[in-house]
């Protein structure tokens, strides 16, 4: 099973910081030996610690621990950029952070995430909603030891993020009489949110074709608010009020719309009425 993006992102950052420490300190005799031993042995067994949280609003890294066992101060700077299908959705920088000899430093890093630019492209938005997307986290770690040298290590974490509306489906339930001209038809929607993006949007369904009313028109409408957290299997019923003469067994066509969080997406979908 593929590792979570937070686990792989934390490992990537830890490796980059560790390699910078080796490159800087590995050229100096005693100081280099001390730090090289720390990075290759101690970190190999214990790692840099820390925790990483990734969601729709930010990437947060807390309590990443680095010790300077050398004789000279180390300066570290960190840059990170997050993209979805080539669209930048967040970037942030940290430092330079100076770690004196014989000292430890705790690194906390926050990268705000904003999906609005990716949402503005209909092709990318469709992938985010239904197909899943490619998300890349690039990390650049630069370090220096005054007055000797500088080093820089870059790495990119490639991760596939699942769709917001994974397995989206519609099911029409048995109609009940509403009045002399219309019936109430419960329309059940279902999906699993397999993305890190919590969904808070208005869903609407307009029936534009029925087994007895094949010509495109407006034969019934309903809407509801959808709140679906990452990882949640969601099901909701929307009441559609249809003309009595439009209801029959066969294929219905609905014009669907999802609107909220800075985007509006419309599509058509067929479903069967029993």
| 75 shares its domain with 177 | no
State if pTM tops 0.75: no
Q: Which residue bears the tokens 């840099």?
A: 48
| Domain span holding position 239 | 166-273
**Rounded to whole angstroms, how far apart are CA atoms 75 and 53?**
25
According to the model, what pLDDT value does residue 151 have? 67
User: How far lies 56's CA from each of 111, 116, 130, 139, 203, in Å?
Assistant: 11, 11, 17, 19, 20
Backbone φ and ψ of 137, nearest 5°: -110, 115
Which residue, of 161, 185, 213, is where some domain finishes?
161
According to the model, what pLDDT value does residue 18 have? 52
Alpha helices, H only, 69-214: 116-119, 122-126
pLDDT digits (tens, 9 = 90+) for 163-173: 999 999 988 88
Which one is predicted more confidently, 265 or 50? 265
Residue 271: name the closest of 131, 169, 186 by CA. 169
According to the model, what pLDDT value does residue 109 have? 78
Is residue 214 packed enough to be buried (19+ CB in 10 Å), middle (13-18) or exposed (0-12)?
exposed
**Rounded to whole angstroms, how far apart are CA atoms 145 and 21?**
9
Which residue, of 140, 161, 182, is where some domain finishes?
161
pLDDT at 134 > cutoff 70:
yes
pLDDT at 113 > cutoff 80:
yes
pLDDT digits (tens, 9 = 90+) for 185-239: 898 999 999 988 889 999 999 999 888 888 888 888 999 999 999 899 999 999 9
Q: What angle do CA 233, 119, 57 make, to 5 degrees?
A: 65
Compute the radius of gyration of the chain from its Cα atoms: 27
Q: Which residues pair with 52 in a beta bridge?
A: 61
Looking at the chain, the whole-number percentage of residues with pLDDT higher than 90 is: 21
| 37 shares its domain with 152 | yes
| 32 shares its domain with 96 | yes
Q: How confident is the model at residue 267 (pLDDT cuts 50, 70, 90)?
A: very high
pLDDT digits (tens, 9 = 90+) for 30-77: 344 444 444 434 433 444 445 566 666 777 777 777 777 767 777 778
Q: Which residues pair with 258 in a beta bridge?
A: 203, 265
Looking at the chain, the whole-number percentage of residues with pLDDT higher than 70 is: 74
| 229 shares its domain with 266 | yes
Q: Residue 107 is part of a domain; what is its CATH number?
A: 2.60.40.10
| 112 shares its domain with 173 | no
| 98 shares its domain with 69 | yes
| 28 shares its domain with 128 | yes
């Amino acid at each position: 099973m593929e590792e979570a993006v937070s686990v792989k992102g934390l490992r990537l950052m830890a490796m980059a910081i560790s390699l910078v420490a080796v490159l800087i300190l590995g050229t100096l005799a005693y100081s280099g030996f001390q730090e090289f031993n720390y990075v290759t042995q101690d970190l190999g067994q214990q790692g840099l610690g820390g925790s990483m949280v990734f969601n729709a609003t930010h990437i947060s890294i807390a309590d990443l621990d680095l010790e300077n066992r050398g004789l000279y101060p180390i300066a570290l700077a960190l840059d990170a950029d997050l993209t979805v299908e080539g669209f930048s959705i967040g970037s942030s920088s940290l430092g330079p952070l100076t770690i004196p000899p014989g000292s430890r430093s705790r690194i906390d890093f926050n990268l705000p995430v904003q999906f609005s630019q990716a949402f503005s492209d209909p092709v990318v938005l469709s992938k985010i909603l239904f197909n899943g997307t490619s998300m890349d986290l690039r990390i650049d770690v630069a370090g220096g030891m005054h007055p000797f040298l500088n080093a820089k290590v870059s790495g990119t974490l490639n991760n596939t993020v699942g769709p917001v509306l994974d397995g989206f489906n519609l099911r029409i339930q048995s109609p009940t009489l509403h009045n002399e001209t219309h019936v109430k038809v419960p329309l059940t929607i279902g999906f699993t949110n397999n993305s890190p993006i919590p969904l808070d949007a208005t869903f609407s369904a307009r029936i534009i074709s029925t087994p007895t009313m094949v010509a495109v028109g407006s034969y019934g409408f309903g809407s509801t608010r959808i709140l679906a957290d990452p990882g949640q299997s969601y099901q909701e019923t929307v009441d559609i009020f249809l003309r009595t003469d439009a209801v029959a067994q066969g294929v219905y066509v609905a014009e669907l719309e999802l609107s909220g969080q800075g985007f509006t997406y419309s599509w058509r979908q067929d479903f069967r009425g029993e």
